Amino acid sequence: MFWVLYNQSLIRWSEAFISSLGDSMSDLEYAELFYTIAMADDDYNPRQARLAQSIEHNVSLQSCVESKRFFINRVDLFAKARVLLLGQPWRSQQRFLVP
């Protein structure tokens, strides 16, 4: 159940971030927005902290791998959103992080 709640908050946070990106932003503005959106979500940060401290160590390996794959998909969405904004190339990291 925790994974479901965590993934829902990850979706909410990442969609809020991506939808808040401007047409033109400096690296600093991008980083500040990333931080501000993350700190504004009262559910995401406590779940992230709890996940790192105890949940990952007490669930099946399969559940952990599935959650990591989901996280990587969300990170890819961030990367795609920043391509034009920051002028940096995008390449999916999925094949490098979780087989």
What 3-state DSSP class applies to 5? helix
Residues in contact with 48: Cβ distance below 8 Å, sequence separation at least 6, in sequence order: 6
Asked if residues 71 and 11 have their Cβ atoms less than 8 Å apart, the reply is: no
> How large is the average pLDDT for residues 9-32?
86
pLDDT at res. 70: 85
| Structural domain boundaries, residue 67 | 2-97
Q: pLDDT digit string (tens) for 38-91?
A: 888 887 777 777 766 666 667 777 877 887 888 888 888 877 777 766 666 655
Number of domains in the chain: 1
pTM (2 decimals)? 0.67
- Residue 93 pLDDT more than 60? no
Tokens linked to 47: 């779940």
